[in-house]
């Protein structure tokens, strides 16, 4: 399995991303809450740049025990990234499409060797 250089570890701040292009492959690498996540940059919908859009918390609807709704709010724990072409949202930690979790972006392993970050392609 080939390794593609992503960044110097010190240069990759939490909340940032890199788009790695290796031949025909494009991979989006995110650093989120100290962890690295890497996915195919091709949206499962129409092939848009899935990893190049907004990162934004998952929205949740607060349904109370009496079944009433307290409206829509941002999750405190779940973060998504959004394909900027049409708005397909993907779970940062799994690459699952949040509207249909059967759909998943191809996931890549990220490793640190010394001061360098690599993605395994």
Partner 1 sequence: MEFLADRERKLSLAELDTTQVLAHATQQSRQYKYDDFMIVDVDAHHYENESFDDMLPFMENDVLRHLSMASRLKGARAHILPPQIGTQEMGGRINRSRMRSEEKTPGSKVRDAQIAHRWMDAMGVDYSCLFPTPLLNIGMHPQSDMEVDLCWAYSRWLTEKILPDGDGRMYTMLPLPFSSPEACLRHVETFGDRKNVTGFMVTTVRNQGVYDNAYMKVYRAMEERGLALAFHSGPNWAEPVFKSCNRFISVHALTFPFYNILHLTNWVMNGLGERFPKLPVMWIEAGLAWLPFLMQRLDHEFMLRSCEAPALKKKPSDYMRDMFYASQPMEVQDIEAMECTFRMIKAETQLLYSSDYPHWDFDLPSTIYNLPFLSEKAKQNILGGNAARLFKLPPRNEAQKANLLKYGNIAA
Is residue 87 near partner 1 by the rule CB under 8 A? Answer: yes
Find out whether 117 and 6 touch, Cβ atoms under 8 Å: yes
Task: Single out the segment in contact with partner 1 by CB under 8 A; choices: 5-13, 53-61, 102-110, 111-119.
Answer: 53-61
* β pairing state of 110-113 and 35-40: unpaired
Nearer to partner 1 by Cβ, of 9 and 60: the residue is 60
Query: Which ranges in 4-50 belong to alpha helices (H)?
Result: none
Q: Report the residue from 12, 53, 105, 118 that binds partner 1 according to the rule CB under 8 A.
A: 53
Is residue 79 near partner 1 by the rule CB under 8 A? Answer: yes
Is residue 82 near partner 1 by the rule CB under 8 A? Answer: yes
CA contacts within 13 A on the Cβ side of 59: 8
Own/partner long-range contacts of 21-24 (Cβ < 8 Å, ≥24 apart): 22/121
Q: How far is the CB of 85 from partner 1 (least distance, A)?
A: 8
Q: Report the residue from 15, 109, 112, 120 that binds partner 1 according to the rule CB under 8 A.
A: 15
Find out whether 98 and 81 touch, Cβ atoms under 8 Å: no
Task: Single out the segment in contact with partner 1 by CB under 8 A; choices: 5-13, 50-58, 108-116.
Answer: 50-58
Whole-number Å distance between alpha carbons of 71 and 86 = 24
Task: Single out the segment in contact with partner 1 by CB under 8 A; choices: 5-13, 46-54, 101-109, 110-118.
Answer: 46-54
Is residue 105 near partner 1 by the rule CB under 8 A? Answer: no
Kindly report the length of the chain.
Answer: 121
């Amino acid at each position: 399995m080939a390794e593609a250089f992503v960044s110097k570890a010190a240069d990759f701040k939490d909340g940032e991303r890199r788009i790695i292009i290796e031949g025909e492959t494009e991979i989006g690498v995110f650093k989120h809450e100290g962890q690295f996540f890497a996915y195919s940059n091709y949206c499962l919908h129409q092939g848009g740049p899935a990893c190049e859009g907004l990162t934004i918390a998952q929205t949740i609807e607060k349904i109370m025990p009496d079944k009433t709704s307290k409206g829509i709010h941002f999750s405190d724990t779940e973060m998504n990234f959004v394909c900027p072409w049409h708005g397909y949202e993907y779970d940062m930690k799994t690459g699952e499409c949040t509207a249909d979790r059967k759909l998943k972006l191809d996931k890549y392993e990220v490793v640190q060797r010394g001061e360098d970050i690599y993605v395994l392609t």
